[in-house]
Structure 1
Amino acid sequence: MNKPNNLILQTATSLIAFLLLGFSVYLFMAGHNSPGGGFIGGLVTAAAVVLLYMAYGIKFVTRILPINFRVLIPIGLLVALLTSMGSFLFNVPFLSHTYGYFEFPIFGEVELATAMLFDLGVYLTVVGVTVTIIVNIANDRKEVEN
């Protein structure tokens, strides 16, 4: 079986995956004040990872991204659960959040909210679930073809 020449796909993927990952960080950070957040940021990150899988193959991407995406699912769920339970410690309504302004060297004054911690849990869960499902479908399809 001849191996296809994926040079154009791999070259374009390098740039597109970088842009997708940058955009997912923007969506994640902007999510508590404007459209975006952990869910859509996680989907965009998963799209970048799946694009890398399509262009370079599972073996190569696993070597450069040694992440077990199945482990991200319980970690994300735990982060979201612990964040939501934090409201009980401070005797405020469930899933209440607070925010503050902090000075960072490069970015200047940035607003950080506790909602970002919940979004982080959602982000990790969505990335883990989406990549795991797509990789499992690809592996099942590969087994059927062989």
Structure 2
Amino acid sequence: MKSTLKKLGYNRVHKQMNDVFLKYTAKVVFLVIITFSINLFFSGHYTPGGGFVGGLLAAGAIILLLLAYDLKTLNRMIRIDNKRMITAGLAACLIVPILLMFFGNPFFTHQHMYLQLPVFGEVPLHTAVLFDVGVYIIVAATTLLIITLLASEQFMSDSEGADRE
């Protein structure tokens, strides 16, 4: 019976069905994790969470896509230069406290203010949120840089082993 199924290509079809299910599920779970990551980011000022935990969760969501797809496909899906993102995150983390120093505040002393937005009206803004955006970007991009470097080295060593055989 098993040999007949193998001749009919059952294993190949079964594997392809699992791949389709995994890829679809990974996309849906990715959206759920990213939504929770953003929620953790914004709730981090009053409860546990913030830029660090949110960034780790965002990186975890992208790693899930890496597990479902390969590295080349992931790079086509998400075109982000991790090194530039790390630089942008560091810039955000430094610009916020430096700008506040120009207003007479000590370094890393954050301010609470209100912005008047046309549709939303008066919206509270704490400068720590702007700093946390930088932390979020740094953590997510650094984690992804490390994982993609490890994945590409693993891919390179696997292909070298195949060449030797």
- Mapped contact 1:32–1:113 kept (Cα < 8 A): no
Q: Tell me what 2:73 maps to.
A: 60
Q: TM-score, normalised on structure 2?
A: 0.78
Q: Tell me what 1:92 maps to.
A: 105
Q: SS state of the match for residue 90, structure 2? A: helix
The alpha-carbon deviation at position 130 of structure 1 amounts to: 0.3
Q: Does the C-alpha gap of structure 1 residues 109 and 34 become closer, same or farther in structure 2, counting only changes over 3 Å?
A: farther
| Of 52, 64, 74, the match for 1:39 | 52
Q: Which runs of 5+ in 2 are unaligned?
A: 1-11, 160-165
Letter in 2 for 1:140: E
Equivalent pairs counted in the alignment come to 145
The alpha-carbon deviation at position 109 of structure 1 amounts to: 6.5
Structure 1 vs Structure 2: percent identity of aligned residues? 36
| Of 122, 138, 156, the match for 1:143 | 156
Q: Distance in 2 between matches of 1:106 and 1:55?
A: 40
Larger radius of gyration: 2
The alpha-carbon deviation at position 68 of structure 1 amounts to: 1.1
The alpha-carbon deviation at position 24 of structure 1 amounts to: 0.8
Q: Distance in 1 between matches of 2:75 and 2:111?
A: 38
Q: Which runs of 5+ in 1 are unaligned?
A: none
Q: SS state of the match for residue 124, structure 2? A: strand
Q: Tell me what 2:163 maps to.
A: none
Letter in 2 for 1:14: K
| Of 136, 142, 145, the match for 1:123 | 136
The alpha-carbon deviation at position 36 of structure 1 amounts to: 1.0
Q: Does residue 8 of the first structure (1) align with residue 21 of the second (2)?
A: yes
Letter in 1 for 2:125: L
Q: Does the C-alpha gap of structure 1 residues 108 and 29 become closer, same or farther in structure 2, counting only changes over 3 Å?
A: farther
| Of 58, 62, 75, the match for 1:49 | 62
